[in-house]
Structure 1
Amino acid sequence: MDMQQHLTEQLTTALSPAHLQVLNESKNHSGPATQSHFKLIVVSDEFTGLKLIDRHRFINQLFKEELTHIHALAMHTYTPSEWKMKQGAPASPQCAGGSKS
């Protein structure tokens, strides 16, 4: 299963996002896993009135099973008005885990 495509489809169905990016950042990290690190940028009206923690809880619940296979999931969640003001998400930090041999 292609995890990036799966995450994209699930987020599209659950949140009807105005903007969605699902980035596979696994290649930036050590280790053999090719589908282990993802960054989500989700802009949805569904986030209106929700605190950041509640937006993240929603996504964590949506991907409860998938998170047993994913090492890192960076979530950047915005309402359309927040996204209009920000016009971008922060860069992902460098991976600190894993051994590089």
Structure 2
Amino acid sequence: MSARTDEEATRVQNNTGITPDSLRKTLVEKLEAQHVDIEDLSGGCGQMYEAIIVSPQFAKKTTLARHRLVNGTLKEEIAAIHAWTPKCYTPEEWEKKKPQ
């Protein structure tokens, strides 16, 4: 569900309790993420997120395995939002890829 107004967006976020900060906190705690950048692509309604996640737990895992790990960690949160796009990197991969 997309919010049509700012008031509706605030109500949706209050009902789900899902914010970029809450997602970031969970990823840092459960995946030992060293860097988490979450962008709300929904215009503030909290229903569409894209994330860059850097964690040593991604080492020796395929992209699919990394996404499954993240999605399993955020299972309840993902069920409450419309769209979730993670981009997962090991610390070494992120050092090579991150914007200079």
Query: How do 1:1-101 residues align onto structure 2 when only pairs under 5 Å count?
Result: 1-27=17-43, 34-88=45-99
Q: Percent of counterpart pairs with the same letter?
A: 30
Structure 1 residue 36: deviation in Å? Answer: 0.3
SS in 2 for 1:35: coil
Structure 1 residue 53: deviation in Å? Answer: 0.4
Give, in whole Å, the separation in 2 of the partners of 1:61 and 1:35.
19
Task: Name stretches of at least 5 consecutive residues in structure 2 with no aligned partner.
Answer: 1-16
| Cα displacement string for residues 25-58 of structure 1 (whole angstroms, at most 9, x for unaligned residues) | 111xxxxx70101111011111111111011001
Aligned length: 83
Q: Cα RMSD (Å) of the superposition?
A: 1.5
Contact preservation (8 Å) 2:18, 2:77: no
Which contiguous aligned blocks of 4+ residues in structure 1 show a shift greater than 6 angstroms? none
SS in 1 for 2:81: coil
Task: Name stretches of at least 5 consecutive residues in structure 1 with no aligned partner.
Answer: 28-32, 89-101
Give, in whole Å, the separation in 2 of the partners of 1:78 and 1:86.
9
Larger helix fraction of residues: 2
Structure 1 residue 3: deviation in Å? Answer: 2.2
Structure 1 residue 2: deviation in Å? Answer: 4.2
Q: TM-score, normalised by structure 2?
A: 0.75
SS in 2 for 1:83: helix
Give, in whole Å, the separation in 2 of the partners of 1:53 and 1:2.
24
